[in-house]
Amino acid sequence: MLWDMFVTFLLIGFVSVGGGYSMVPVIEREAISHGWMNEQSFSDMIAVAGAAPGPIATNTAVMVGFHAGGFPGAAVSAIGMTLPSLLLVIAAGLLLTKVQHHPLTESAFYGLRPIVAALVFYAAYRLVMAGGAALAIDWKTGCSIAIFAGALIALMRFRVHPLAVIAVSGLVGVALYA
């Protein structure tokens, strides 16, 4: 199982673009298809992985690995997830210094931007669906929408520090749902 976990996260790390949130749907699919987690456990874990310091994709890989294989599972998942980034960043740094201003390079990056946004949106959609919010509009869904709106306004309009928004949102969640 540990080798399978390492190879799975190594491949995810090599083929995923757009940062951690765009990798969440891929990790979810693999974790569930391998039987390492179920949808509800994964959804709960994403909330913790997103609130924890560090990149969400690595946090998610570590948590999936730990859930399925304890400390060794967490270690091989973390190595598998981060090794591709290390190797690709070194290779890209060497290559991009030579071709960074080439029109094809610039065009490729413009083409990748929309898919990154779509993958992040899809990850958010999956989290909402896993929580059942889209299935029934009740007081919890209304409160979640209000927390979302308040957080978005605080971040965009008032430029409140994201850590403060996270802390306040967590406290509001405790007050409303505990």
Query: Would you say 61 and 78 are in contact if contact means Cβ atoms under 8 Å apart?
Result: yes
DSSP 53: S
Question: Do 53 and 116 fall into the same domain?
Answer: yes
Q: How confident is the model at residue 105 (pLDDT cuts 50, 70, 90)?
A: confident
Which residue range is the domain that position 158 belongs to?
136-178
- Residue among 176, 151, 175, 149 nearest 162 (CA): 151
Question: Do 60 and 142 fall into the same domain?
Answer: no
Domain count, the chain: 2
Question: Do 29 and 116 fall into the same domain?
Answer: yes
140-163: average pLDDT: 90
Over residues 75-95, the pLDDT tens digits come to: 999 999 999 989 988 998 898
∠ CA 40-42-43, rounded to 5°: 65
Query: Would you say 80 and 5 are in contact if contact means Cβ atoms under 8 Å apart?
Result: yes
Question: Do 130 and 151 fall into the same domain?
Answer: no
Residue 136 reports pLDDT greater than 70: no
Over residues 57-78, the pLDDT tens digits come to: 999 999 999 999 999 999 999 9
pTM to 2 decimal places: 0.58
Rounded to an integer, what distance in angstroms lies between the CA atom of residue 120 and that of residue 115? 9
Rounded to an integer, what distance in angstroms lies between the CA atom of residue 165 and that of residue 43? 21
Question: Do 121 and 140 fall into the same domain?
Answer: no
**pLDDT on residue 144:** 84
